[in-house]
Amino acid sequence: MELIQQYQNLFKGKPAVVVAAGPSLNKQIKWLKKVENKVLIVACDTGLGILLKHQIVPHIVTALERDLVCSTLFENIPENAPEELLTELLSADGVRIERIVSFGQSSPDGFWYDQTENEWVLLLKGFATLRFEEGPPIDLLPGDHLQLPARCRHRVEKTDPNGRTVWLAIFYR
């Protein structure tokens, strides 16, 4: 606790500068040298080497863990649920990837999906029947995948009532 109190007011009233590696860092080295004793310099570990090369010693260095995270699509799924479970796995630049888990659910009577996005869907576990406003229904088993263009009106007719139906859906424009 004494160590924390010792540093508690050390930089009180001083502006802080956060430094990270990038093209702008090289352009700001002269300015940083000029103000290094007047500001609190917080460096991301990616910029530390450049600062030290120019004899600038930051007051604080932070580090970001860059470990890759690996998980499975089949984790954190309850045995049963009153509604479908939707989990967004990724969303970027016009693409969204979702895991959908159905527990015997189907679309409500009279309801049709009419999406503005294209959808590619892969059935990973269980079974399902999709019905289309135009065309015959399609039964899906694990490994089956389907491309649904935007505005393709469809509904989930049925999913496995005795287990979990796991889908991977990719929505894109």
**pLDDT tens profile 54-110:** 899 988 888 766 666 678 899 889 889 999 999 989 888 899 999 999 999 999 999
In a 3-state reduction of DSSP, which class is residue 95?
A: strand
Q: What does the pLDDT read at residue 27?
A: 86
Residue 3: what pLDDT? Answer: 63
Token pair 């530390």 in the structure block, residue:
48
Q: With respect to residue 148, please indicate whether it lies within any of the assigned structural domains.
A: yes
Asked if 96 and 80 count as a contact pair (C-beta separation under 8 A), the reply is no
pLDDT at 4: 67
Same structural domain, 164 and 93: yes
> Where does the pLDDT of residue 22 fall: very low under 50, low under 70, confident under 90, or very high at 90 and above?
confident
**Structural domain for 31, as ranges:** 16-62
In a domain, 11, yes or no: no
Domain count, the chain: 2
On whether both 95 and 148 belong to a single domain, the answer is yes
Residue 43's contacts (CB-CB under 8 Å, 6 or more residues apart) are 18, 19, 20, 51, 58, 60, 61, 62
Question: For all residues of the chain together, what is the average pLDDT?
Answer: 90
Q: Is the pLDDT of residue 5 over 80?
A: no
168 in the same domain as 89: yes
CB 59 within 8 A of CB 15: no
Q: Which sign does the torsion angle of CA 65, 70, 74, 79 carry?
A: negative
pLDDT at 136: 96
Within this chain, do residues 107 and 54 fall inside the same structural domain, yes or no?
no
Domain check: are 36 and 101 in the same one?
no
**Would you state the pLDDT for residue 99?**
96
Residues 99, 32: one domain?
no
Query: What is the spatial distance between Cα 71 and Cα 99, in angstroms, rounded to a whole number?
Result: 13
**Measured CA distances, 86 to 31, 40, 97, 136 (Å):** 50, 44, 10, 26
Q: Is residue 128 part of a domain?
A: yes
User: How far apart are alpha carbons 9 and 7 in whole angstroms?
Assistant: 6
Answer yes or no: do 164 and 98 share one domain: yes
The verdict on 95 and 127 lying in the same domain is: yes
Q: Tell me what the mean pLDDT of segment 17-44 comes to.
A: 88
